[in-house]
Chains A and B, each alone.
Chain A
Amino acid sequence: MPRPPSPSIPEKEFLYGSLKQSLRLDGRNPLEMRTPTLTFGPDLGWVECAMGKTRVIAQVEGKMVKPPPERPLEGLITIHSELSPMASSEYESIRPSEEEVTITRMLDKVLRRSDVVDKESLCVLSGQRVWHLRLTIHCLADAGNMLDCACLAGVVALKHFRRPEVEVVGEEHDPSERAPLPLSMHHTPFCFTFAYFPDPTILPVLDPSHLEQRLSAGLMSVALNAQRELCVVQKAGGMPLDQQEVLRIVDVAVGKAKELDKLVETRLKEDWAGRTVEVR
């Protein structure tokens, strides 16, 4: 189907006009993000993250596997993400869209290549047994900025997950002996997407809505943690940006990352307090 049609002329003109007055359609400030709501499921490592109407589910599962011979001391992490037509009728199930490729690659960079999880701590028996973590990301609804939502869901799921502590007795390992342990994480990166508009007098907006994303002249995604460590900067085409501008955006993102870190920590603590994990 020849989808998606680009937004209509009145929509485009109105959005640009109101952004010029620093007004956003959902009443946010240009550099204000939607407050994410995190819902934890009955299992450890199951998180639903909602930013406005954008909703993503992330789930972590752990499995014992034999490590590849070139890295006998490291665990494995794989990320599976899929954008199905469930999220929005713009996505087709047959061919991955450009956006899907971007999201998959960004997730890989932010959650795996930036060394979020200490892979050596996933080793059970060198060269014999390591943990294989499988992070599945389901995009349920796309109302703009799916990338940030998916990254947040993924990171929180990894933080929420606890792997069973196993004891190796000869060749056997018994997972039910002790309380499950949280993964040892090096840092907590968050992704922030900024949208730029063709008119240079319009300031960039953080966490663009669906319409803003469609009418933007370029997106820039910055992934960093609350300790000011920059992990990924992605800008695929679009408007050329000034060096000063990039630095300014990174500064803004640092502030947001600190806020988000606090929110995630409190939510995780609340959830853990209300949870009883059986130790048999």
Chain B
Amino acid sequence: MTLVLPGEQVPAQHVNLKLGPGLLQLSSANGDSAIVATRAGDLNHSANRSKWWIESNSRRYVPAPQESVIGMVIARSGDNWRVDIGSAHMATLDGLAFEGATRRNRPNLKVGSLLYARVSLAHKDMEPELECFDAQTHKAEGFGELKGGFVVHCSLKMCRLLLDPKFFLLPLLGARFPLETATGLNGRVWINAKEARHIIAVSRCIEAVDPDGGSMDEAGIKKFLGTLDI
């Protein structure tokens, strides 16, 4: 693992090369191509060196296709919804991109509703588009409106950590009290639990563990949970 800066060349070569976040292929006129980094961070690659990506932390979300995000409905324009996902531009969500939605029967979303959706289109020159179902099966797959609960804002690295099944925080909290979460890759985590103090405990723990804030470790969180009223 090495640290790279934007513009630096990356020695990524493979017959079946796949580039992840933070890497760009530049091709010159004579047919050569070079892989350069577009952001600063740790350069990672898979065991067989076919997949390369850069890992870094940031607060501002840049949409990428197939990522699950949490958005808030801002307005309705015709058949579409305008959704704020924390990126530089608003995302559009087709009113029919829900499970079982038809022209007659479409979900009743209000301005200010929260959604768990997937980015279906993210092109640098176009507004991102969202969908709330799996385009192949037309099933919800967990996407849709999020009712109740609360949203915590965290750094982008923190939400990637929360999605890691081996990460200690959510199992630790889940052992104390039942809770429900939906993690968006745009730095928003929706949490729900029976009691308000549990939700507050989760949100404070996420803030404490966030590498952008407290960056507390497992032992620290166990001690911190002891001081909370749960």
Are A8 and B196 within 8 A (Cβ)? no
Asked if residues B112 and A25 are in contact (CB atoms below 8 Å), the reply is no
Q: Determine whether the beta carbon of A18 is less than 8 Å from that of B196.
A: yes
Which residues from A are CB-within-8-Å of B148? 10, 13-14
- The majority secondary structure among interface residues of chain B is mixed
Distance of A13 Cα from B146 Cα, bound (Å): 13
Does chain B have a CB within 8 A of A175?
no
Closest chain-A Cβ to B217's Cβ sits at a distance in Å of 20
Contact of B72 among A8, A25, A53 (CB under 8 A): A8
User: A26 within 8 Å of B by Cβ?
Assistant: yes
Q: Are B147 and A10 in contact (CB under 8 A)?
A: yes
B112 touching A6, Cβ below 8 Å:
yes
Contacts of B72 in A (CB 8 A): 5, 8
Interface 1/0 per residue, A1-45 and B, CB below 8 Å: 010011111111110011001011111000000000000000000
Q: Does B113 contact A (CB under 8 A)?
A: yes
Q: Are A8 and B199 in contact (CB under 8 A)?
A: no
Q: Assuming A8-B114, A9-B110, A10-B146, is B151 touching A17 (CB within 8 A)?
A: no
Complexed CA–CA distance, A11 and B189 (Å): 12
Q: How many A residues, CB 8 Å from partner? A: 20
- Rounded to whole Å, the gap between the CB of B73 and the closest CB of chain A is 8
A236-251: CB near B (< 8 Å → 1, else 0) gives 0000000000000000
Neighbour of B84 across the interface among A5, A25, A26, A53, CB < 8 A: A5
Q: Mark B3-26, 1 if CB is under 8 A from A, else 0.
A: 000000000000000000000000
Contacting pair B74 A5 (CB below 8 A): yes
What is the CA–CA distance of A21 and B147 in the complex, to the nearest angstrom?
Answer: 20
Residues of A within 8 A of B176 (CB): none
Chain B residue at minimal CB-CB distance from A17:
B196
Please, how many residues of chain B have a CB less than 8 angstroms from a CB on the other chain? 22
Residues on the A chain within 8 Å of B147, using CB: 10
Measured between alpha carbons, how far is A229 from B196 in the docked complex, in Å?
39
Interface string of B118-161 (1 = CB under 8 A from A): 00000000000000000000000000001111110000000000
The interface residues of chain A lying within 8 Å CB-to-CB of B151 are 8, 10-11
Chain A contact surface mostly? loop
Mark contacts of B182-217 with chain A using CB atoms, 8 A cut-off: 1 yes-contact digit, 0 otherwise.
Answer: 000000001000001101100110000000010000
Other-chain contact of B196, A2, A10, A23, A53 (Cβ < 8 Å) = A23
B204 near A10 with CB under 8 A, answer no
Considering the chains assembled together, what is the distance between the CA atoms of A13 and B149 in angstroms? Answer: 9
CB distance from A129 to the nearest CB of B (A): 48
Give the A-B contact count at a CB cut-off of 8 A: 51
- Closest Cβ of chain B to A131, distance in Å, is 41
Residue of B nearest to A15 (CB): B150
Which of B74, B84, B200, B213: most chain A Cβ within 10 A? B200
Would you give the shortest CB distance from B220 to chain A, in whole angstroms?
16
- Collect the chain B residues with CB atoms within 8 Å of residue A9's CB: 110, 112-114
CB of B101 closer than 8 Å to a CB of A? no
Contacts of B146 in A (CB 8 A): 10
Give the contacting residue for A10; candidates B74, B114, B200, B203; CB below 8 A.
B114
Could you tell me if B149 and A27 are in contact, using CB atoms closer than 8 angstroms? no
Do A14 and B113 form a contact, CB below 8 Å, given A8-B72, A26-B204, A27-B228?
A: no
Q: How far is the CB of B115 from chain A (nearest CB, A)?
A: 9
Chain B residues lying within 8 Å of A11, measured Cβ to Cβ, are 150-151
Residues of chain B contacted by A6 (CB below 8 angstroms):
112
Across the interface, do A27 and B204 meet the contact criterion of CB distance under 8 Å? yes
Check if B149 sits within 8 Å of A10, measured CB to CB: yes
Contact with A along B71-106 (1 / 0, CB 8 A): 010100000000010000000000000000000000
Kindly state the separation between the CA atoms of A8 and B84 in the bound complex, as whole angstroms.
10
A10 to B152, CA, bound (A): 11
Contacts of A7 in B (CB 8 A): 112
Nearest CB of chain A from residue B52's CB, rounded to whole Å: 31
Give the CA-CA distance A26 to B149 in the complex, in Å. 16
Question: CA–CA, A25 to B190, complex, Å?
Answer: 14
Output the nearest chain B residue to A7 by Cβ-Cβ distance: B112
Chain B residues whose CB sits within 8 angstroms of the CB of A18 once the complex forms: 196-197, 199-200
Q: How far is the CB of B212 from chain A (nearest CB, A)?
A: 10
21 A-B contact pairs sorted by A residue (CB < 8 Å): A5-B74, A5-B84, A6-B112, A8-B72, A8-B112, A8-B113, A9-B110, A9-B112, A10-B147, A10-B149, A10-B150, A10-B190, A11-B150, A12-B112, A14-B148, A14-B199, A17-B196, A18-B196, A25-B200, A27-B200, A53-B213
Other than the given A18-B196, A27-B204, 9 more pairs (CB < 8 A) read: A5-B72, A8-B113, A8-B114, A10-B150, A10-B151, A12-B112, A14-B196, A21-B196, A53-B213
